[in-house]
Structure 1
């Protein structure tokens, strides 16, 4: 009953926070805690099963968990290879490969510690296991709330649709990733125009060292080619990252309309972190996502997750160090 009560409590807190502002990472954690305590409550119901069935579940669960973890690791490794072939070997493209190798390392460490009677090895295993569990929990929270937030409908008409830039190909061509964002913005603009309130589209992105024009310029040309009037497009062509996208776009929008509402368009993997950034920048609006190629999604999500972790350095470093100490102490006593 306590687990169910805690699940309800965290669900109520989640609902209250979402009503106040959807763009908080605490929403993801509260939802994750509600689901975790609900799962604990359901596990507690296993005590009501016949002893034979309960013993079978206790024996089979570890055997099911190991193949599942190995399958996840293999999928991450395979995706890392695909990313390297399609996108190159930059560090950001190798995150799924690194995550797969790290997961295999943790599995090997835990299996070895379970078989070898070595106190130092048990200390290391404990110090690794609890922080790994913490990071896995936060990743699941991130995935769950990203999925939920990305499917929330746009609540009201916007004065501006802000399209975030991405790298160009061949120096001045819109790649499929960026094209999906522009298509999503075009559809939103067309739907709003049909209701009699055509929005202004803000295309946001500066010029990279390997590009012949700014991302904003290429995006504007793409939209004009699709029939968007040039006078309905504004260019923000100075930004180099998402934070600057929002900062410079906010200045542009506020100069044109003091009390404005906007919708920010990016890709689905980028939605939650962009929402966190819009909140910090004081931008009044919602973030919506465009679809992403399946092979690109795992590494992109891991990159976004790492970026969110880094944006809360004190909380996460303290939590990881504390859990490592507790896990190491448990391994020493065991």
Structure 2
């Protein structure tokens, strides 16, 4: 019963947080804690369930706990190989492979600890599992809330649609990833334009400067892409100074504030990037919601882990502090044991 009460409290905090501002990572944590305590309450309630139901549920849970990590690690390694084959060998493309190998490494240490009966190794593995458990919990919170955030409807009319750049092919051509953002931005623009009066038609801002290996600014290539497909030229504004997502936000905000102070916007990026972009928009003071465009399935795992790592480090004082505390707890356990 207590678990259900705690779950209800965290669910209420989650609801209040979403109403106050959707763009908070605390919303993801509240949701994750609510689901966790709800599951604990359901498991505790198995004691009153019919014997057949209780046994079946426990067997399923044990199978998931035993086989789930092995299957997940194998899938991550397979995805890592696919990423290398299709995208090349770059640090960002190795994340899923490294995560899968890391999971196999931890499982190997667990087996070694059991077989060797080593106190030191057992405590090391226990400490490592606590850290992995903490990081995994945050990652699941991130995945769950990012999924929900990406499916929240645009609840307000917006004055602007802002498309974030992502690099060009050959220094001047729009790649499929960026084309997906532009097509999604066109859909959002058309939806908003259908709700507005003629003299308040939204404006589409393409945001992206010129990189060191690019022949022209990303925003110019993005605008050309839209113009070639019949988008009205007088509804496009080019922000061509930014080099990072933070600068996309700040420079686009300056353009919006200069024309329409207090303007609302919808920011368009890819779905794996939407929630972190929303956190960055909130930090930059941009009054807007972020929506995502589709991404190739093979690209999603590594990209999502990269986004989570960036958010984890954004709150590094708290997260690294907790990890250090877990290591100290392991050290204390070693001294006491």
Q: Counterparts of 1:109-188 in structure 2 under 5 Å?
A: 109-188=109-188
Deviation for aligned residue 1:241: 1.4
Separation (CA, whole Å) in 2 of partners of 1:325 and 1:138: 20
SS at match of 2:297: coil
Deviation at 1:302, TM superposition (A): 0.3
Deviation for aligned residue 1:3? 0.4
- Displacement of 1:257 after TM fit? 1.0
Give the corresponding residue for 2:238.
235
The higher relative CO (CA closer than 8 Å, separation ≥ 6) is in 1
Aligned residue number for residue 91 of structure 2: 91
Determine the C-alpha separation between the residues in 1 that align with 2:251 and 2:291. 19
Moved more, 123-132 or 45-54: 45-54
Q: 1:202 is paired with a residue of what secondary structure? A: strand
Q: CA deviation at 1:55?
A: 6.6
Q: How many residues align?
A: 334
Partner deviation per Cα, 1:201-224 (whole Å, 9 max, x = no partner): 111111122211111110000111
CA-to-aligned-CA distance 1:163-209 (integer Å, 9 cap, x gap): 00011112111111111110011011112222344210111111122
Q: Distance in 1 between matches of 2:98 and 2:273?
A: 20
- Gaps in structure 2 of 5+ consecutive residues: none
Q: How does 1:41-120 map to 2 (within 5 A)?
A: 41-49=41-49, 61-120=61-120
Call closer, same or farther: CA 1:196–1:13 in 2, change over 3 Å. closer
Query: Matched residues in 2 for 1:316 and 1:176: separation?
Result: 35
2-side partners of 1:239 and 1:124: how far apart? 45
Instruction: Encode CA deviations 1:13-60: one digit per residue, 9 max, x unaligned.
Output: 111111110000000000000000000000101222466875776577
Counterparts in 2 of 1:239 and 1:332: CA distance versus 1, 3 Å: same
Query: How many Å apart are 1:232 and its aligned residue?
Result: 1.0
- 1:221-279 deviations in Å (ceiling 9; x for gaps): 01111212222111111111111110111111111111201000001000110000000
Report if aligned partners of 2:242, 2:251 keep a CA contact under 8 Å in 1.
Answer: yes
Q: Output the TM-score relative to the length of structure 2.
A: 0.94
Match of 2:204 in 1: 201
Contact 2:139 2:308 in 1 (8 A): yes
Q: Which runs of 4+ in 1 moved over 3 A?
A: 49-64, 327-334
The alignment partner of 1:217 has SS state of helix
* Alignment partners' CA distance in 2, 1:257 and 1:143: 35
Provide the TM-score with structure 1 as the length reference. Answer: 0.95
Task: Please tell me whether the aligned partners of residues 265 and 289 of structure 1 are also in contact (alpha carbons under 8 angstroms).
Answer: yes
CA RMSD of aligned residues (A): 1.8
The residue aligned with 2:315 is 312
Tell me what 1:278 maps to: 281
